[in-house]
Amino acid sequence: MTTGAPPPTNPAQTRRSSRPRSYLPLGIAAWLVLEIWLLTVVADAASGFTVFLLLIAGIVLGSLLIKRAGRRAFRRLSEALQQQQQTGAVPAGDRRGSGNALTMLGGLLLIMPGLISDALGLLCLVPPVQRALSRYAERTFERRLRAASPGSLGDAFQQARMRRPDGKVVQGEVIRDDAPPTSHPDAGPRPPLTP
């Protein structure tokens, strides 16, 4: 019998809420208001047609950048796979393709309507900025990987699949509709599935 009341929670297992995550919606709203305000200021100073041309130019340039970076990444992947097939050894990672992700991010920011996002997108295309952001991302990723205990990432995913949000283990059996019906030795025959 269910009462409709939520199950009791253990105060020790309260969720940790991060400050950046709680302020994210407010930050996105402020960013959108700032983008719209800046577009209206530029439209008053120049003209609405100029703003329209700037937005179209950003969309075209951003899509060309994303397409170019995607082709370059696919070509490098193909070369690495061919080298692996020929030599039989896994090729060592090269640093030539390290800017593809930031080039795609810059293209995505250019596609987004707004002058601030266009400026950030163009900033992502400057090679010294790309190198600095790549080094920072590598250091952050390695630091978090070292901080994670061995097996904690896999264990976290395993626990997320097996447990309900309140921490109780869900007992049950998975029955696939596309599998042929089978009978369990303790149960009688199953009726056929009808759509």
9 touches 17 (CB < 8 A) = no
User: Which of 25-39, 134-148, 151-165 is the least confident region?
Assistant: 151-165
pLDDT of residue 12: 45
Backbone angles phi, psi at 171, to 5 degrees: -95, 140
Query: pLDDT confidence of 162, banded at 50, 70, 90?
Result: low
Range of the domain at 52: 30-67+95-148
Measured in whole angstroms, how far is the alpha carbon of residue 181 from the centre of its chain?
Answer: 39
The answer to whether position 35 is within a domain reads yes
Per-residue pLDDT, averaged over 167-179, amounts to: 64
Per-residue pLDDT, averaged over 139-163, amounts to: 66
Whether the model clears a pTM of 0.85, i.e. scores above it, the answer is: no
Q: At what angle do helices 48-87 and 115-124 cross, to 10 degrees?
A: 30
The answer to whether position 23 is within a domain reads no
The answer to whether position 139 is within a domain reads yes
Backbone angles phi, psi at 169, to 5 degrees: -80, 135
The answer to whether position 53 is within a domain reads yes
In the chain, how many domains are there? 1
The answer to whether position 124 is within a domain reads yes
The answer to whether position 47 is within a domain reads yes
Per-residue pLDDT, averaged over 168-173, amounts to: 64
The answer to whether position 122 is within a domain reads yes
The answer to whether position 176 is within a domain reads no
Per-residue pLDDT, averaged over 154-183, amounts to: 59
